[in-house]
Homo-oligomer: A and B are copies of this chain.
Amino acid sequence: MSNPLLLEEQLCFPFYAISREITKRYRPLLEPLGLTYPQYLVMLVLWEQDQQSLKAVGERLHLDSGTLTPLLKKLEASGLVERVKNPVDERHIQITLTANGQALRNEAEQIPLALKELLGVSDEDMELVKQTLNRLTIKMNGTD
- A interface residues with partner B (beta carbon < 8 Å): 3-7, 9-23, 26, 37, 41, 44-45, 47-48, 60-62, 105, 108-109, 111-113, 115-116, 118-121, 125-126, 128-130, 132-137, 139-140, 142-143
Q: Measured between alpha carbons, how far is A14 from B22 in the docked complex, in Å?
A: 11
Q: Measured between alpha carbons, how far is A139 from B94 in the docked complex, in Å?
A: 41
Q: Is the CB of B12 within 8 A of A26?
A: yes
Pairs of residues from A and B, 10 with the lowest C-beta to C-beta distance, nearest first = A120-B143, A19-B19, A14-B133, A15-B19, A4-B112, A132-B132, A12-B22, A7-B44, A16-B19, A15-B18
Q: Measured between alpha carbons, how far is A23 from B133 in the docked complex, in Å?
A: 16
Q: 9 A-B residue contacts at CB 8 Å?
A: A5-B112, A10-B44, A11-B129, A15-B18, A19-B19, A21-B140, A120-B142, A125-B139, A129-B132
What is the distance, in angstroms, from A50's C-beta to the closest C-beta of chain B? Answer: 13
Stoichiometry, copies per complex: 2
User: Within the complex, which residue of B13, B21, B140 is in contact with A18, where a contact is CB–CB below 8 Å?
Assistant: B140
Q: Is the CB of B139 within 8 A of A47?
A: no
Q: Measured between alpha carbons, how far is A7 from B129 in the docked complex, in Å?
A: 15
Contacts of A21 in B (CB 8 A): 62, 140
Among A3, A37, A142, residue most surrounded by chain B Cβ atoms (within 10 Å): A3
Contacts of A13 in B (CB 8 A): 41
